Amino acid sequence: MTPFDHVMPDAVESALADIGRAPLPTPDSARFLAGGTNLLDLMKADLTRPTRLVDVHRLPLKAIEPTADGGLSLGAMATNAETAAHPLVRSRHPLLAAAILAGASPQIRNMATNGGNLLQRTRCSYFYDAKVPCNKREPGSGCPARNGLAKQLAILGSSEQCIATHPSDFCVGLAALDATVHVRSQRGSRRIPMLQFHRLPGDRPELDTELAPDELITHITLPPAPFTRHTTYLKLRERASYAFALVSVAAALQLDERGRITEARIALGGVAHKPWRLPEAEALLQGREATPAAFGEAARRLLQGAQAHGAPGTDNAFKIPLAERAVVRALELAVAGELTNTGPLAGLPVDSVRREPS
């Protein structure tokens, strides 16, 4: 591991000054350190070599609190475990609690923070293997994944250069709920809508997000949500726990008194370089009865243009029908008020989770 400095400021302004100190931050110079569950693994594997770590543990960024407009603010330094257990998250956004609890393990969720979760890197095995080329790790070196082991990799929005997926569950929930990411640097503050926060790989696969290297995520806001009863996070993976999604679906519906859909949100995880949402697919459900036929139409639209990659036998063609069926199933579960198929909240009706935050 490359030697590095470690500083632990206790004010946001000091952290911004520390990260902004010359030499200007690049992925191989200064980095913020939060829970360390991803960054330290990457450093130990010598895949990233920051020379300065600005540890953000002492920053006052842990609050989970209501916002003036009736929404909710999630501090960047609140852990994933604290966020999933928070009564306001459970009562207003049970979908988000279910998405978080579908990820990783209790130990990791106790360390992992909300800010770090947004910036975790892909789990593409070629990215983690320094002995093989990878355009994301070393731009211009190539992408063996395209004709290799691709089951965890993208079927939507990929490029010639990269077929990596974003591995987060939390981010899929945030995308469905139209969250906003709030960031600060010495240049000022800005807000980035969640759907624009992560990038598609295009010809710059080394960039995962729109965040500049010296920008600190301070918090994430969620607008007031009408989606509480009819929401589901469905995660399909190779084993029942402690595995990244092959496909996941965050589905949220608002139904009128006759059971017709007045609003729908569908976000997919495990299929692209970012959580995948398509407003046209959601619009197909507007005003419709909540039937499998309508759900199938929306699912096919959402998966339109999907493309398989990988060598014969280890390709990911199976993910296209899997994702279509997962969307239909998630919407059916949302209508039934079943919150999730996995994690500690599996099998619980949405309403019981809203009443009994742990």
Ligand X SMILES: Cc1cc2nc3c(=O)[nH]c(=O)nc-3n(C[C@H](O)[C@H](O)[C@H](O)COP(=O)(O)OP(=O)(O)OC[C@H]3O[C@@H](n4cnc5c(N)ncnc54)[C@H](O)[C@@H]3O)c2cc1C
Sites of contact with ligand X (CB under 6 A): 31-39, 56, 76, 80, 103-104, 108, 111-113, 115-117, 119-120, 167-170, 216-217, 244
Q: In angstroms, what is the minimal distance from the CB of 274 to ligand X?
A: 13
- Lay out the sheet containing 216-222: strands in order across: 64-66, 72-75, 216-222, 180-185, 188-193
Q: In angstroms, what is the minimal distance from the CB of 355 to ligand X?
A: 26
Q: In terms of CB distance, is 36 or 349 closer to ligand X? A: 36
Q: In angstroms, what is the minimal distance from the CB of 27 to ligand X?
A: 8
Q: In terms of CB distance, is 14 or 254 closer to ligand X? A: 14
Q: In angstroms, what is the minimal distance from the CB of 198 to ligand X?
A: 13
Q: In terms of CB distance, is 4 or 291 closer to ligand X? A: 4
Q: Please answer whether residues 218 and 76 qualify as being in contact, where contact means their C-beta atoms are separated by less than 8 angstroms.
A: yes
Strands 30-33 and 52-55: parallel
User: How far lies 173's CA from each of 69, 190, 196, 233, 314, in Å?
Assistant: 20, 22, 15, 8, 29
Q: Give the CA count within 13 Å in the CB-facing half-sphere of 117.
A: 32
Q: In terms of CB distance, is 80 or 231 closer to ligand X? A: 80
Q: In angstroms, what is the minimal distance from the CB of 244 to ligand X?
A: 5
The radius of gyration of the chain from alpha carbons, rounded to an integer in Å, stands at 20
Q: In terms of CB distance, is 146 or 166 closer to ligand X? A: 166
Sign of torsion, CA 345 351 357 358?
Answer: negative
Q: In terms of CB distance, is 72 or 284 closer to ligand X? A: 72
- Spatial neighbors of 183 by CB under 8 A, at least 6 apart, are 189, 190, 191, 192, 211, 215, 216, 217, 218
Q: In angstroms, what is the minimal distance from the CB of 133 to ligand X?
A: 22
β-partners of residue 189 are 184
- Ranked by CB distance to ligand X, the top (closest) residue is 116
Q: Give the CA count within 13 Å in the CB-facing half-sphere of 13.
A: 0
